[in-house]
Amino acid sequence: MLIKKVGIIANIAKEKSSEYTAALRQWMIGRGLEVYLEEGIAAKIGGLPGVERRELWSIVDLIVVFGGDGTILRTARLVRDRDVPIVGINLGVFGYLTEVNLDEMYSALEVILAGEFQVEKRMMLDVEINGGEETLLEGSVLNDVVINRGNLSRIIELETTVDDRYMTTFKADGLIISTPTGSTAYSLSAGGPIVFPELYSIIINPICPHTLTNRPIILPESAEIKVTLRTMEKGANVTLDGQVSYTVKSGDTVTIRKSRHVITLVSSPHRGYLEILRTKLGWGGSQTGAAWERQDAHGTEYP
């Protein structure tokens, strides 16, 4: 793949994000590339033109994202309609999706810009919330859909079907429906399995279930899951990728199915997925995993 035009997005709340962006821009321009900055980071740097985020995807061959996993998740939901590869530069302390570290940024990009890189196609899920015949919310996720009890003081009841066949009614603090990419996010902290991201499957994982035999289950990618809130009180929340939230009431249904969209992530030229797991989770005595926090694993970033 020949890369001529590169777009850069950065989490402007991250320290030195504007400094790193400006330096990378100059480095790329020096190599004859056209570089476009998302308008938020362009404004923070000052004196440079910016492109509206939704327009950026249509004019570039590669997106470079400075930030953490949350920035990648936000980017993925916007770029889903176009198959543009994304490379994540990690500005945080923890990340599964931002595979390239700052100290290896230029060496990794040398390889990527030469076309000598591999990509991973990550599945997404489409989500639809319905109240009776009315569609209340539609969206897509790269990580997960979480239905939780919100402000309710007791557990909620979630009637769950798979392909219109009754599965069970979970009595729990909530339910996580995740992709393989999301298996190392909130689902992992709730005791779910780690699933290789190239596999296409859907994970259902109850949060603190009342019945201890309610365990995580992995479904085929073709499965359509419907979850209906059967708790009478208002206040249960549906959260998409930890970033978009909607309050549902009794009788509302959340439908989750495999999306026709996929996200293309550029793999790090310096390490594979197993090494990332080993490092992030502290396997084999690594101290990096000791810094693991549920917030970081879920990809939540502000703003």
pLDDT at 51: 93
Which structural domains are found in the chain, ordered by start?
Answer: 5-118+267-297 (3.40.50.10330), 124-260 (2.60.200.30)
Number of Cβ within 10 Å of residue 220's Cβ equals 11
Q: Is 241 a catalytic residue?
A: no
Report in angstroms the alpha-carbon separations of 243 from 63, 106, 143. Answer: 21, 30, 11
| N-term to C-term CA, the chain | 33
- Axis-axis angle for helices 17-29, 105-113 (nearest 10): 40
Distance in angstroms (rounded) separating the CA atoms of residues 27 and 140: 34
Q: What is the mean pLDDT of residues 170-192?
A: 95
Q: Which residue has the tokens 């176009």?
A: 82
Average pLDDT, the chain: 89
Please give the residue that has the higher pLDDT: either 296 or 236: 236
Please pick, among 69, 144, 173, 241, the residue that the annotation labels catalytic: 69
Token pair, residue 170, equals: 């979970």
Confidence of residue 301 (pLDDT cuts 50, 70, 90): very low
pLDDT at 202: 98
Q: How does DSSP classify residue 190?
A: T
Count Cβ atoms within 10 A of the Cβ of residue 54 and give its class: 0-12 exposed, 13-18 middle, 19 or more buried. Answer: exposed
Q: Which residue in 119, 73, 109 sits closest to 267, CA to CA?
A: 119
Query: Do 224 and 214 form a contact (C-beta atoms < 8 A)?
Result: no
H/E segment holding residue 72: helix 69-79
pLDDT at 255: 98
The helix/strand count (H/E) of the chain reads as 8, 17
The predicted-structure confidence for 122-156, as pLDDT tens digits, reads as follows 999 999 999 988 999 999 999 999 999 887 678 99
- pLDDT(292) > 80: no
pLDDT at 182: 95
Report in angstroms the alpha-carbon separations of 36 from 7, 53, 134. Answer: 5, 10, 40
Would the pTM of this model clear 0.75, i.e. be above it? yes
- pLDDT(117) > 50: yes
pLDDT at 259: 96
Q: What is the mean pLDDT of residues 99-104?
A: 88
The predicted-structure confidence for 213-272, as pLDDT tens digits, reads as follows 899 999 999 999 999 999 887 679 999 999 999 999 999 999 999 999 999 999 888 777
The predicted-structure confidence for 217-231, as pLDDT tens digits, reads as follows 999 999 999 999 998
pLDDT at 286: 46
Asked if the peptide bond before residue 216 counts as cis, ω within 30 degrees of 0, the response is no
Token pair, residue 32, equals: 């004859």
Distance in angstroms (rounded) separating the CA atoms of residues 31 and 19: 19
Exposure of 62 in the CB half-sphere (CA atoms within 13 A): 22
Q: Which residue has the tokens 């302390």?
A: 93
Confidence of residue 94 (pLDDT cuts 50, 70, 90): low
Distance in angstroms (rounded) separating the CA atoms of residues 284 and 239: 34
Cα–Cα–Cα angle for 163, 160, 151, nearest 5°? 145
DSSP 187-215: HHHTTPPP--TTS-EEEEEEES-SSTT--
pLDDT at 289: 44
Phi, psi of 154 (to 5 degrees): -125, 175
